[in-house]
Amino acid sequence: MNVFQNYINGEWLASKSGKTFPNINPANTDETVGLFQSSNADDVDQACSAAAAARLAWADLPATKRGEYLFKAAELLEDRLQQLGEEMTREEGKTLPEAIGEVKRAINIFRYFAGEGSRQFTYQVPSERENVLCYTIRKPLGTVALITPWNFPSAIPAWKIAPALIAGNTVVIKPASLAPLSSYRLIEALHEAGIPPGVINYVTGSGGLVGDALTSNPEIKAVSFTGSTSVGSALYKKVSERRIRVQLEMGGKNPTVVLSDADLDYAADILINGAFFSTGQKCTACSRAIIERSIYEPLVERLVEKTRKLKVGNGLEPGVQIGPAVDEEQLKTDLEYIDIAGKEGAQLLCGGKRLTGDNYDKGYFIEPAIFTGVTSEMRVAQEEVFGPVLALMVAEDFDEAMRIANDVRFGLSASIVSKDLTRVHEFIKRIEAGLITVNLPTAGVEYQLPFGGTKESSFGMREQGPEALDFYSESRTVYLKYTQ
Ligand code: NAP
């Protein structure tokens, strides 16, 4: 059995607790992918002290030199692409092509932010006074804490680690306990790239214990969190008392609006991709399809027909399109929401059952489910399920579609399927979402642009793209008179 250690001050260390926890394959619960450290507050303190001690030397290094470590780590990860993809499928359940795609994205993110080492733009403006230069510089924040979820176990850690490091911060990261191996591989690559001790530290263990110790540690000057709205909101309450910088990326209830002029097959494919791929376990997954009445029946017919053909199974098997739920708890949540939707009066059109028999018995497999007759007041239209459950809602016209689309507390991503440029632009103007796609699924964003939502989906500055550096650095303003 592989036992994976914490990484603190450049060394691989067992937790002082002497305890480990298993990382179980959700497609085959007989398989333990590895044992990880059940860390305690002492481990967290040690990691934070190491990161604080490394802070000044790392901040003094030219940003281009910091970037060299990221470039080298990207190269190492690329050499191991297949292995890392397979490991991700085994720990998280997503299909192998999805997992390999995600590792590629993490590599691109490392390279993109490595390049930012030579592009950390600040500005100079004319002064009102003679012989005075006015300009800004960026300063790192110090030591930052990164807390990440299980659903993108490589890309999300990468899109926090890379901008934090290139801006000159030192890092302590706590990955999700359900999928800690993919981020372990990022840390391993940085270690092999020769990153100085203490610059990056990795501590695994329960959110309640490790997450709490980390966010309360006085060395931590900022927290970047991605996860559920409930955990993020509680974390914010606690951390904001210390007035340190916080960034929260949380849940979604993302709509796809399909207008009457849409190509129906195209629209059905977009809905299936957004709602069911990665087993609906994307924060940007589509969970509400809002369809104009005139095309409702024919579109739903196509959607159900295509959904019934989806192949659910172990993501390592060729041809499988939908993997398992990540664990028993998530499967239970999916089934509970399916039950609730039925009791609230929505009608199940297909799927919605746990799959059993043969290899299905060893994992947490569920058929993708589609409900018709969903209305805004139902819980399935309001609450994040985080599983392959799609709620279909009918709209009499564009205005009603917009009303329904915005009638939720979340605002992460939203899409529209239409060829009508006027209504598409109106959608872009009126939709309450941070990520807007047109004739594309709600999910599938790119690393070189800002990422984040509005309303209760997000709080604080954007991640990814050039804006990511704003969170991890502080602007200082300089007035310099060059004569006396
Ligand atoms: P979660 O339960 O909120 O956990 C997220 C992270 O927080 C994990 O590392 C978890 O550790 C840790 N944590 C738990 N309790 C904590 C505490 N008291 N203090 C500090 N940290 C704590 O979320 P999840 O189930 O991993 O991920 C699914 C959720 O993430 C969904 O709601 C999804 O929408 C959201 N998400 C959002 C985005 C986005 O960018 N908006 C992207 C991906 C996912 P343990 O794993 O040890 O519990």
pLDDT digit string, tens, across residues 329-353: 999 999 999 999 999 999 999 999 9
**How confident is the model at residue 152, as a pLDDT?**
98
- What is the pTM (predicted TM-score) of this model? 0.98
Check whether 365 has a pLDDT greater than 90.
Answer: yes
Q: Which domains does the chain have, with CATH numbers?
A: 3-250+457-480 (3.40.605.10), 254-438 (3.40.309.10)
List 219, 283, 292, 463, catalytic entry? 283
In the reported structure, the alpha carbon of residue 450 is separated from the centroid of ligand 1 by a whole-number distance in angstroms of 20
Check whether 462 has a pLDDT greater than 90.
Answer: yes
- Pairing relation of β-strands 410-411 and 286-292? unpaired
Let me know: does 274 contact 416? Beta carbons within 8 Å. Answer: no
**Which atom of ligand 1 is closest in space to residue 234's alpha carbon?**
18
* 283 counts as catalytic: yes
**How confident is the model at residue 120, as a pLDDT?**
86
Pairwise CA distance, residues 143 & 39, whole Å: 19
Ligand 1: which residue has its CA nearest to atom 39?
249
Check whether 1 has a pLDDT greater than 90.
Answer: no
**How confident is the model at residue 28, as a pLDDT?**
98
Q: Residues 134-148: what's their mean pLDDT?
A: 98
Cβ neighbour number for residue 119 with a 10 Å cutoff? 13
Residue 192: what residue type?
E
Average pLDDT, the chain: 98
Ligand 1: which residue has its CA nearest to atom 37?
250
* 68 counts as catalytic: no
CB of 203 shorter than 6 A to ligand 1: no
Query: Which residue's entry shows tokens 């890392």?
Result: 84
Q: Residues 386-404: what's their mean pLDDT?
A: 98
Check whether 219 has a pLDDT greater than 90.
Answer: yes
**Which atom of ligand 1 is closest in space to residue 330's alpha carbon?**
25
* Spatial CB neighbours of 305, under 8 Å, sequence gap ≥ 6: none
Check whether 209 has a pLDDT greater than 90.
Answer: yes
Q: Residues 396-415: what's their mean pLDDT?
A: 98
**Which atom of ligand 1 is closest in space to residue 206's alpha carbon?**
47
In the reported structure, the alpha carbon of residue 261 is separated from the centroid of ligand 1 by a whole-number distance in angstroms of 39
The CA-based angle 361-89-202, given to 5 degrees, is 120
List 87, 249, 384, 463, catalytic entry? 249
Residue 22: what residue type?
P
Virtual torsion, Cα 74, 80, 81, 82, nearest 10 deg: 180
In the reported structure, the alpha carbon of residue 205 is separated from the centroid of ligand 1 by a whole-number distance in angstroms of 13
**How confident is the model at residue 469, as a pLDDT?**
97
